[in-house]
Amino acid sequence: MARPQRGAEITRQIIDLIVERELPPGAPMPTELSLMDDLGVSRTSVREAIKALQALGIVEIRHGHGTFVGSGGPEALQTWLMFRTRTRGDVGRLRDLLELREMIETELTRRVATRHRPELIGELEACVARMRRKGPDGAVADREFHDLLGAEAGFALARELTGLFWDVYRATEAEVGGPVSSPASTAKRHQRIVDALVRGDADAAVEAMHRHFDEVRERANAGPYGGFGESTPGS
């Protein structure tokens, strides 16, 4: 166990170095020789740590150009969540994912209800209109609707997380199977949220978001594993 623990420590040290030197995304990473000297480790250890950081999106290797600080996107977390939620013996993870989405999105909706751009309502209405149509664009519009709310609330991390949760939920529920939500039903749930925002009623907007998730849960519990059924679109 000593080697993996040592590798994890070197990885953390390189992260600390990036933070301490305030290297922004896209900045060149220190050379292998520099890292070997700064950390007092071998070339092999540095290369293994860089590969681990690349998998996390913290480091980006551009062949023929060098190694740079990455954007640190949610790709690694998405891979982990996909694995956990797709495990047959752990369908409760998908329920947990939905609960987390609800907690975050209801609070974002409350904040948006009290203050938002005048153009937001038209943008949300356009998404709802697209949800009423059959086809893959309905799912795209569904995701855009929730992304618009996250962006309007002004919390970049919350927006990233809700987008990540949405993507994982959609990818996983299709594998479980179950009842399908009609485009009209999906659009109706989202229209209630828009109507509350038009009135500037934060409590009603939050209640509409809760009702939206309640209906998703009801459909989900009818799935063959007591888990989540497929929606097209409906989350």
Mean pLDDT, residues 143-170: 90
pLDDT in tens, 40-83: 999 999 999 999 998 888 999 998 889 999 887 777 778 778 77
Q: Is the pLDDT of residue 160 over 80?
A: yes
Strands, E assignment, the chain: 59-62, 66-69
Residues pairing with 155 in the sheet: none
What lies within 8 Å, CB to CB, of 217 at 6+ separation is 95, 98
Pair 160, 151: CB distance under 8 Å: no
Residue 226 has pLDDT above 70, yes or no: no
- Average per-residue pLDDT in the chain? 85
Question: Dihedral of CA 34/38/40/44: which sign?
Answer: negative
pLDDT, tens only, 202-225: 999 999 999 998 887 776 666 554
Least confident of 83-92, 107-116, 136-145: 83-92
Q: What is the pLDDT of residues 9-48, one digit of tens each?
A: 999 999 999 999 999 999 999 999 999 999 999 999 999 9
Whole-prediction pTM value?
0.72
pLDDT at 166: 86
**Element holding 68 (H helix, E strand):** strand 66-69
Q: Give dist(CA 74, CA 56) in Å, integer.
A: 8
